[in-house]
Structure 1
Amino acid sequence: MAITGADFEKLVEPYFRTLFSKMDFVVIQVRRQDSGTQNGFDISVLFLDENDKEREIFIECKYYTTAQLNWSDIFNKQLQLEASNQTASAFILLSPLRNLSNIDHDLQAKAIKLFKLPVEFWTPDKQVENLFAHNEELYKIVFDKPTFDLKIEKDKELENLKIKINSLLHKKDSLKYLNSIRIIDTLKEPEEDLYLKTNLDEKLNAILSDDDIIRIEYHKVRANYKVYLENLQDVNTELRNNLLLWESDLRLKADRLTRKFKIDTIYTPEKFFHDFFEEAEREMLTFCKDYELKGDKQKLLNGVVFELAAQCPLDWRRNGSN
């Protein structure tokens, strides 16, 4: 026999404590909101992330067996949470039996950017059944089945859940800097062909000695910029696309000025290198002003210039040789 919505909340409250503990998070508190309270959530999980930073995820539970689950109702819950004094790390809709209908994806995306809060819908079309596979008795109650017939690897599913939670936390951190450029030093290498590094190194031979330590720095700022662009794919595709469009425009200018440099026999590689930096900086400042961007402008400038050099349109070598 199917349970009620209130029953569902009572069952999942301790279950989330167990799940977060199994994922090696330090759980501070799991609480269920009193019936009738309008704060945009049913359950909250307060915990420490892998960096011992306090986080709180708010979960709206919908145990609908027959009624339609409308996105507008869930959107109103997000508005209520935003209007409250809660400091949320993420908002999750948990609906084991019904998918969302009438979703306005454009408005939802704009709300995420406006509220700076990542949102996920854990519904049947997102394989929400797997979430309950760690407790077979709970699974049978929630899905009103006499037996447990889900075939999954529980350890793997727990690992996937932790990846999903960490991804939400990463998105939250990135959304804080929605209008800012934050390019950090990272050990991660961008996903690219090795010949791009070779191209840049060959060009650096024209202006730097083999043992010049700044050579390593130039490679690093380019790599950091590429990794930053890769990370933007999940959290701010609009900013990423705008950066790539600007990079494309600057690529055309780099190609044109490079061709001019090749026929100017008294123009030194060093002077062309520095002159292009100044030209690129003017373009960057205009770009940042147009999109009201703040942050690591010099890292952005260096990253884009050396990326253009690695890709070939910017070539300060005389006649294309060392």
Structure 2
Amino acid sequence: MPITGSDFEKLIQPFFKDLFEKMGFLVIQVRKQDSGNQNGFDISISFLDDNDLEREFFIECKYYTTAQLNWADIFNKQMQLDSSNHKPAAFIALSPLRDLSNIDHNIQAKAIKGFKYPVDFWTPDKDIQKLFAINEEVYKKVYDKPKCDIVINKSSEIQRIKAIINNLIQKKDVLQFSDLIRIDETNKEPIEDSKLKTNLDEKLNSILKEDDENRIIYHRIRANYKVYIESLVDLNSELRTDILNWESNLRLKASRLTNNFNIDENYTPQKFFHDFFLEAEQEILTFYKDFELKGDKEKLLHGVVFELAAQCPLDWRKNG
């Protein structure tokens, strides 16, 4: 006998509790939303991840047997959840019988950046049948069949779902800090040619005495910046690209400013150092505003300036 949407939600509550426990997570609570509440979800599950951090996933259940499942309906649920007081680690639209139609991928991608939590669609085109086949009794009820008619390796399927869950957690962490630049102090050295340190020292010789304590500080600031950029390869490649593009634009400004040595015989490395920092300081304000960023402006500013000096476009030495 076919089940109803309400029946489906009642099945999902214990099914997900059992599933998350099989994945090795400590489940704190699985809660079904009260009828009539409009917070954008049907089921929520709170659990401790592999690092013992509490996470809460929100699941919108759509048990459509004949009607088309329109993306706009799911997007409206996302908006409701985002407007609530809940703090989602992820939102999952669960539809065992119908794929989503009319998806606006651009709006969805932009909204996720604003929500700061990932959204995933678990639908037939994502092999959702394999998920339910983990529990054959649930599968038979969901698909109204006398027996489970697909064969899976249950252990492998549980690990596949766990990989998806962990990927959503990782995306949540990236989104949470997607607009925050945090350059930590570290003893780690960047992976690079040692000549870059020599290049920076040659530039610093033009403005500092050999025993000036700032010399070590400037090298450390640059190293911290480079290590931070390296970390973004896996954590936030989009932010990394934006920073490197900004660095490239500053390289052009540095090249233009270097021409002052050719047109003004009184132009000094100290003056160049001062002028370029003023240029870069103005540019970083625009950069942060354009990309709605926050955090560690001075560390980023100094890191980029000294990195450009190490790369050579910043020529503080009169006549090269």
Asked if these proteins are the same fold (TM beyond 0.5), I'd say yes
The residue number in structure 1 matching 2:172 is 169
The offset of 1:213, in angstroms, is: 4.3
**Structure 2 matches for 1:1-322, cutoff 5 A?**
2-132=2-132, 134-139=134-139, 141-143=141-143, 144=145, 146-150=148-152, 153-154=156-157, 156-174=159-177, 178=179, 180-184=180-184, 196-206=192-202, 207=204, 213-214=216-217, 215-228=219-232, 231-233=235-237, 237=238, 243-258=243-258, 260-261=260-261, 272-273=272-273, 275-289=275-289, 293-309=293-309, 311-316=311-316
* Greater radius of gyration (CA): 2
CA contact (8 A) 2:23 2:162 kept: yes
Distance 1:85-1:315 versus aligned 2 partners, 3 A rule: same
SS in 1 for 2:308: helix
What letter is aligned with 2:67?
A: A
Q: Distance in 2 between matches of 1:163 and 1:187?
A: 30
The offset of 1:318, in angstroms, is: 6.8
The offset of 1:287, in angstroms, is: 3.1
CA contact (8 A) 1:136 1:148 kept: no
Identity %: 58
Distance 1:133-1:302 versus aligned 2 partners, 3 A rule: farther
SS in 2 for 1:181: coil
Distance 1:290-1:98 versus aligned 2 partners, 3 A rule: closer
TM-score, length-normalised on structure 2?
0.77
Q: Distance in 2 between matches of 1:319 and 1:137?
A: 81
The offset of 1:311, in angstroms, is: 4.8
Distance 1:249-1:184 versus aligned 2 partners, 3 A rule: same
What letter is aligned with 2:25?
A: F
Q: Distance in 1 between matches of 2:199 and 2:56?
A: 49
RMSD over equivalenced CA pairs, Å: 3.7
Describe the superposition over 1:32-73 as per-residue Cα deviations: whole angstroms up to 9, x where unpaired: 123443321110012234554433211001122332100111
The offset of 1:298, in angstroms, is: 1.2
Unaligned runs of 5+ in 1: none
CA contact (8 A) 1:225 1:303 kept: no
The offset of 1:254, in angstroms, is: 1.9
Q: Which moved more, 1:96-105 or 1:216-225?
A: 216-225
Query: Across the two proteins, how many residue pairs are aligned to each other?
Result: 309
Unaligned runs of 5+ in 2: none
